Structure 1
Amino acid sequence: MSVPVVIVSGLYPVARSARVDRLLAEHPGSVAVHHDLREVSSGRVERVVRDTAGVLDLQEIQLAHGCVTCTVREDLIPQLLSRMGSASLLIAELWDSVEPRAVAEALAWHEDTVHALHLTGVLTVLDAEHVTDDICCDERLAQRGKLAAADDERYLAEVLARQIEYATAIVVSGAEEEDIELARALLGHLAPTTPTGVLDSAPPSVTGAEIDVEMLGARVDPATAQLPCDAQTDEISTVVWHRLRALHPQRLFEAVDELVTETVRSRGRFWLANRHERLLAWDAVAGIVSVEDAGPWLAALPEAAWEMESPARRMAATLDWSPALDDRVQHLVFTGPDLDRDRILSLLDSCLLTEEEMLAGSDIWTGYQDPFAFILDLEETSA
Structure 2
Amino acid sequence: MHLSVVSSLDSQCREVATARLGPTHSNSVVVLHDLLDGSLVLRRVYRDGELLERSETMLEHGCLSCTVRLDVVPTAERLAACGHDHIVLGLPPGVSVDMAVAELRRGLDRPAVIDNAVLAIDPAELEDHIWDRHTLYESGFTSMPEDERTSGEFLIGEFGHVDTVMIQPGLGAELGGGPQSGAWDHGVELCGQLAPHAAVSGVHDDFRPGCYDSGEAHARTRRGAVRVPLDAGAGTFRTVLHKVERPLHPGRFREALPQLAAGSHWLRGRLWIASAATTRIAVQGIGPRVWLEGTGQWLADAGHDPRSGTLPASDVDAALDWHPTFGDRGTVLAVTGRGEDVDPREIRGLLDGCQLSDAEMRLDFSKLEDPLGLETGL
Q: TM-score w.r.t. structure 2 length?
A: 0.89
Cα distance between partner residues in 2 of 1:307 and 1:48: 49
Other-structure match for 2:370: 370
> 2:93 aligns to what?
96
- Once the 2 structures are TM-superposed, how far is the Cα of residue 83 of structure 1 from its aligned partner? 0.6
Structure 2 CA distance for partners of 1:325 and 1:304, relative to 1, 3 Å: closer
Q: Report the equivalent of 1:344.
A: 347
State whether structure 2 residue 61 is matched by structure 1 residue 65: yes
SS at match of 1:372: coil
Q: For 2:304 and 2:191, how far apart are their aligned partners in 1?
A: 39
How far apart are residue 309 of structure 1 and its match? 6.1
AA of the residue aligned to 1:68:
L
In the TM superposition, residue 322 of structure 1 has moved relative to its aligned partner by 0.8
Cα distance in 1, alignment partners of residues 280 and 161 from structure 2: 21
Q: Note the C-alpha offset of 1:179.
A: 4.0
Quote how far apart the aligned CAs of 1:272 are: 0.6
8 Å contact kept, 1:6–1:92: yes
Aligned to 2:240: 239
- Distance in 2, Cα, partners of 1:71 & 1:111: 13
Contact preservation (8 Å) 1:172, 1:183: no
Which residue number corresponds to residue 72 of structure 2? 76
Give the conservation status (yes or no) of the 8 Å contact 1:239–1:333: yes
- Match status 1:23 vs 2:6: no
Stretches of structure 1 that go unaligned for 5 or more consecutive residues are none
1:166 counterpart = 2:164: no
* Counterpart residue number, 1:112: 108
Residue pairs, 1:124-139, within 5 angstroms: 124-139=119-134
Contact conserved, 1:229 with 1:239, CA < 8 A, in 2?
A: no
The equivalent residue for 1:13 is 11
Alpha-carbon offset, residue 17 of structure 1: 0.7
SS in 1 for 2:5: strand
Q: 2:359 aligns with which of 342, 356, 359?
A: 356
Q: Which amino acid aligns with 2:33?
A: H
Shift of 1:63: 2.2
Q: Please give the alpha-carbon distance, in whole angstroms, between the structure 1 residues aligned to 2:125 and 2:301.
A: 44
Paired with 2:206 and 2:183, the residues of 1 have a C-alpha distance of: 17
Distance in 1 of aligned mates of 2:326 and 2:230: 23
Does the C-alpha gap of structure 1 residues 285 and 223 become closer, same or farther in structure 2, counting only changes over 3 Å? closer
Contact 2:124 2:185 in 1 (8 A): no
| Aligned equivalent of 2:147 | 152
Give distance in 1, aligned partners of 2:228 and 2:282: 13
8 Å Cα contact 1:32/1:49 also seen in 2: yes
Among 205, 214, 218, the residue aligned to 2:208: 205
Q: Equivalent residues in 2 for 1:277-316 (5 A)? A: 277-303=278-304, 310-313=312-315, 315-316=316-317
**1:97, 1:147 within 8 Å by CA — same for their partners in 2?**
yes
- How many Å apart are 1:122 and its aligned residue? 0.5
Are the counterparts in 2 of residues 171 and 203 from structure 1 also a CA contact under 8 Å? no
CA distance, structure 1, for counterparts of residue 236 and residue 226 of structure 2: 25
Partner of 1:176: 179
Root mean square deviation, CA, Å: 2.4
1:289 and 1:107 mapped to 2: Cα distance? 31
Q: Distance in 1 between matches of 2:18 and 2:278?
A: 46
* Residue identity opposite 1:239 in structure 2: V
Q: Give 1:290 deviation, angstroms.
A: 1.6
Alpha-carbon distance, 1:66 to partner: 2.3
Q: Which residue of 2 is the match for residue 34 of structure 1?
A: 32
Deviations 1:262-286 (A, max 9, x none): 2111111111111111111111111
Instruction: Please report how far the alpha carbon of residue 139 of structure 1 lies from its aligned counterpart in structure 2 after TM superposition.
Output: 2.3
For 1:49, the equivalent position in structure 2 comes to: 45
CA distance in 1, matches of 2:253, 2:325: 22
1:330 is aligned to 331
Q: Which amino acid aligns with 1:170?
A: V
Q: TM-score w.r.t. structure 1 length?
A: 0.88
Once the two structures are superposed, residues 191-237 of structure 1 have per-residue CA deviations (whole angstroms, 9 ceiling, x without a partner) of 122111112x134323x26x442331111112544344672133212
Q: CA deviation at 1:370?
A: 1.8
Q: Is the 8 A contact 1:66 1:150 kept in 2?
A: no
Cα deviation code 1:129-169 (max 9, x no counterpart): 21132223222212210126331111111111112222101
- The residue number in structure 2 matching 1:195 is 199
The count of residues paired between Structure 1 and Structure 2 equals: 365
Q: What amino acid maps onto 1:122 in structure 2?
A: A
